[in-house]
Each structure stands twice: as C-alpha cells, then as structure tokens.
Amino acid sequence: MSEKSPMVQEEGVDMPSPAAVVSRDDAQSRRPPVEQPVFSVRDLSVSYGKNVALKGVTMDIRPRRITAIIGPSGCGKSTLIRCFNRMNELIPGAQVDGQVLYHGEDIYAPGVDPVVVRRHVGMVFQRPNPFPKSIYDNIAFGAKINGYKGDMDELVERSLRRAALWDEVKAKLKKSALDLSGGQQQRLCIARAIAVEPDVILMDEPASALDPIATVRIEDLMQELKRDYSIIIVTHNMQQAARVSDETAFLYTEVDEATSARWGILVEFGKTGRIFTSPRDKRTEDYVSGRFG
C-alpha cells in the first residue's frame, strides 16, 4: 500500500496534505477558512465496455450545499454521481478517465483504496435498501465495519434523530427494518449513511420510489443535513431540483448521427435560481421549461 495518499491511510495518522481537513475526528477542521470545493471534476469520461456513457465533465462541487444533477433519462446522471464514491467500478467493464479531486486529492489515483473513499462519501440509493436486519443493526453496521469504538446506543439514537426518524422507531429498534414504510426505510438509509460520519452524501433519486408526503420529509431532511454535509442529488424531478438545491448541473444526451452512439455531456452548471430562470443554453431552457424530457 502506498503511503503517499491519505486515502489509503487509516484515521488518526498524521496527515499533512489538504485532505486532512476531512478527518472525522476533527469536526472543527471541516470548515476551512477559504471555501475550497469538496469535489473538483476534471474532464471526466466514463465508458462501459465500448459504450461511452459520459464525456468531458468538468465541475466543482461546493461544500455544505445541495448540488442537483438533472437531465433526461439516459444522460448519465447516475453514472456521474457514482463517480464520486467509485461505485461505478462494481460494474464489470466500467472505465473512468479524467480526474475527480476530493479536497484536492484524485480519488482515482493509483493506490487510493475505494473502500476508504466510500467511508468519506456516503450514498443513498433510488430504492430504499435497508439490510434484512433490525433497525438498530442497520445503523450500527457502518459504524462497526469502520471500527467505531464509542457508545453504539448513543450513535444509533443520534443518527436516527438526525434523519428525523427517532420518534417513529425508538420503541422498535430491534424490529426488522423491512417492516418500516418506504419513506421510513429511506430515512433509515440516510441515518445509516450519516452514522459513519461522511463528509459528502450522494443521493441517487432518493425520493423517486416514495409518495409525495414521504418525499417532502426527505426534502426537509436534506435542508437540515446540508448544514453539516455536502449533498449531491440526482433527480429527474425538476421541481424537486428547484426546491431543494443550491446549484444545478444539467446533463444532456449527445448523439453521434453516423454511429447512433449516445453519451451524456454536462451542458450547463450554476446556481439553481439562474439555471431555472435564465439558462444560457438553449437545451437547458427547453428542458427546464418542460418542452421535452
């Protein structure tokens, strides 16, 4: 294992590099004096086998904001969000080119352990996917594998409170998580993600399988969470992006007429208000005004 990158080191080791600011033991240092981007994506391309899914994405993700990724189906939104915690490489044949800098460190550099990346960058999926275990064990899982030594009961309560779920489940912590409603399950998944105290939370269409009321609760929760976490959310729901996010990235599908190959590109990225009210690109304007997609 290389000693160069903090990504391959365990917690508590001296970390002189800029990435030291993400050390979980030191919450204060999470707020650097000058706002540096959490993620800097540089000319990122992703392909699956011979098919290019995403081409040339460059963007900066700002800390403690909600960044929404929107665009029509098949434009590479999920592919893009999965680059931030290296989940793409679980798909056989996936190939990532370009750079994803996390506090200045390329998470795709050789010697970076994806397992350590994922301990800093949590993820919530489209369908609620609690483990077939008790509510308590679902929360404790991540903490356990990360070697958490503190009071587990306290951590479980704190995580559930932060996910606005504590009052609903405090009497049945030992019951199976699968008995909860869809919305509760999704908030449990969020609680599970924040229990490992990540720096960033990725959400891949977190509300698309939920009813409107459960969706509102998730959206409210995101507003709470952005005080401490940087959140990146993929959504195909433009109203949702407009409601919750601070910045919006619009992805669109480009088609090669000759080979009919298609891939996603980043068309426009900026403050959500501007993207929705005065988009600079015609395609963005067409999309946000509901002319297609």
Partner 1 sequence: MLLRRSVRSAPSSLSASGTASAGVWRRKGVGRRADSLFAVLAALSGVLILGILGWMVVSTTGTALPVFGSQGISFITSSRWSPSDGEFGTLAFIYGTVVTSVIALLIAVPLSLGVSLFLTEYSPKRLKGPVGQAVDLLAAVPSVIYGLWGVFILLPLFLQPVSDFLAEYLGFIPIFKGPPSGLSYFGAGVILAIMITPIITSLCREVFETVPGADRHAAYALGATKWEVIRQAVLPRARAGIVGATMLGLGRALGETIAVALLIGSSVSIDASIVRPGYSMAAVIANQFQEATGDHIRALVGIGVVLFALTIIINMAARALVWRFNRT
Rounded least distance, CB 268 to partner 1, Å: 28
Rounded least distance, CB 115 to partner 1, Å: 5
**Rounded distance between C-alpha atoms, residue 238 and residue 235, angstroms:** 7
Identity of the residue, 78 or 240, whose beta carbon is nearer to partner 1 in the bound complex: 78
Half-sphere exposure of 102 (CA within 13 A, CB side): 27
Structure tokens, 86: 């290296």
Rounded least distance, CB 128 to partner 1, Å: 9
Positions in the binding site for partner 1 (CB under 8 A): 85, 87, 90, 92, 115-116, 118-119, 122-123, 125, 127, 129-133, 141-142, 145-146, 176, 189, 192-193, 196
Rounded least distance, CB 265 to partner 1, Å: 26
Identity of the residue, 130 or 183, whose beta carbon is nearer to partner 1 in the bound complex: 130
Half-sphere exposure of 71 (CA within 13 A, CB side): 28
Structure tokens, 235: 């959504």
Identity of the residue, 76 or 122, whose beta carbon is nearer to partner 1 in the bound complex: 122
Name the H helices within the chain: 77-81, 114-120, 135-145, 152-162, 166-169, 182-195, 212-225, 238-244, 272-277, 282-288
Identity of the residue, 173 or 275, whose beta carbon is nearer to partner 1 in the bound complex: 173
Going across the sheet that includes 200-204, the strands are 105-106, 94-102, 39-48, 51-61, 262-271, 247-255, 66-70, 230-234, 200-204, 121-124
Identity of the residue, 127 or 243, whose beta carbon is nearer to partner 1 in the bound complex: 127
Beta pairing class for 247-255 and 230-234: unpaired
Rounded least distance, CB 114 to partner 1, Å: 8
Rounded least distance, CB 91 to partner 1, Å: 10
The SS3 assignment for 75 reads coil
- Compute the CA torsion angle 165, 169, 174, 179 (nearest 10 deg): -90
Identity of the residue, 141 or 246, whose beta carbon is nearer to partner 1 in the bound complex: 141
Identity of the residue, 61 or 124, whose beta carbon is nearer to partner 1 in the bound complex: 124
CA distances from 247 to 31, 59, 63 (A): 20, 11, 11
**Rounded distance between C-alpha atoms, residue 270 and residue 127, angstroms:** 28
Rounded least distance, CB 90 to partner 1, Å: 6
Opening angle at CA 84, ends 79 and 90, nearest 5: 60
